[in-house]
Amino acid sequence: MKATIAQQQPDMATSSNTLISFGPLLAAGLLTWKESGRNGLRQLIRHMFQWRVSPIWWLAAISPLLVYVLTMIVLWVIQGQPMDVRSLGQLNFLSNLGLAALPF
């Protein structure tokens, strides 16, 4: 009986973690809609996707990813086989949020 309960707990933790991760976004949307209506919600969404950052800072933010990709390519050429990247960035204690986690 204990083994069954222990196997069910990760599923509950995973689903609640997914719901909790969207809590602040949902709260911001609901409060903005309540206080400012549709126009305020449109303005909030527009500001969420409007980035005012200099291109040099984009390069600084993306450069670790570029270095990683170049390193993978060099290792692929040297070793003759591609690296296994299936578990890259996977955290075992978080659920997969999919495209909803991407900031675009």
pLDDT recorded at residue 33: 94
Sequence ranges of the domains in the chain = 1-50, 53-85
Return the ∠ at Cα 53 (arms to 51 and 58), rounded to 5°.
Answer: 105
For residues 12-47, one letter each, b for 16 or more C-beta atoms within 10 angstroms of the residue's C-beta and e for the rest, the string is eeeeeebeeeeeeeeeebeebeeeeeeeebeeeeee
Query: 36-72 pLDDT, tens per residue?
Result: 999 999 999 999 888 788 889 989 989 998 998 898 8
Query: 71-93 pLDDT, tens per residue?
Result: 889 988 998 888 777 766 666 66
Report H helices in the chain: 2-21, 23-48, 55-79
pLDDT recorded at residue 6: 46
